[in-house]
């Protein structure tokens, strides 16, 4: 097994064994990391890497957006934030600027801090909460 294959197996195992809150946190952390890499690539003039990392972030935010339950108040509050994140990352792509990437990263870091304070109720089975 190659190192890439081992990483993919590890990631798949992590995802399958995580509860919905852990998965949400994992998505946020991955998007934040991608934005850091995108900004560093932009500063280094590596446009291809910046593009891949911004696209990765947009895919994650898009998944978070489509997973929202419109019946929940938190979802109605998060939807415009996710749409804004998609907008500013697109601006960063088109204008080739790091400022929107940094803004998106800070916003996701703030949201992640909030998600880190959330816990599943004790009577909710993590395997069925998804």
Residue ranges covered by each domain of the chain:
20-112
Q: How many Å apart are CA 68 and CA 62, to the nearest integer?
A: 10
Name the CATH topology of 20-112: 1.20.120
The secondary structure of residue 127, as a DSSP letter, is: T
**CA angle 10–109–116, rounded 5-degree value:** 65
**Six-digit token pair at 67?**
């997973």
pLDDT at 129: 45
pLDDT tens track of the chain, all 130 residues?
Answer: 676 666 566 556 665 656 888 999 999 999 999 999 999 999 999 999 999 999 999 999 999 999 999 999 999 999 999 999 999 999 999 999 999 999 999 999 999 999 999 876 665 554 444 4
Q: How many Å apart are CA 73 and CA 18, to the nearest integer?
A: 24
């Amino acid at each position: 097994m190659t190192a890439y294959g081992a990483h993919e197996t590890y990631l798949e195992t992590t995802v399958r064994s995580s509860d919905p809150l852990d998965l949400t946190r994992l998505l946020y952390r991955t998007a934040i990391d991608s934005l850091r890499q995108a900004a560093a690539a932009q500063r280094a003039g590596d446009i291809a890497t910046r593009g891949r990392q911004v696209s990765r972030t947009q895919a994650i935010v898009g998944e978070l957006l489509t997973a929202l339950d419109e019946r929940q108040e938190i979802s109605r509050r998060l939807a415009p934030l996710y749409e804004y994140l998609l907008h500013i990352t697109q601006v960063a792509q088109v204008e080739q600027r790091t400022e929107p990437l940094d803004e998106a990263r800070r916003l996701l870091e703030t949201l992640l801090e909030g998600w880190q304070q959330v816990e599943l109720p004790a009577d909710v089975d993590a395997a069925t909460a998804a």
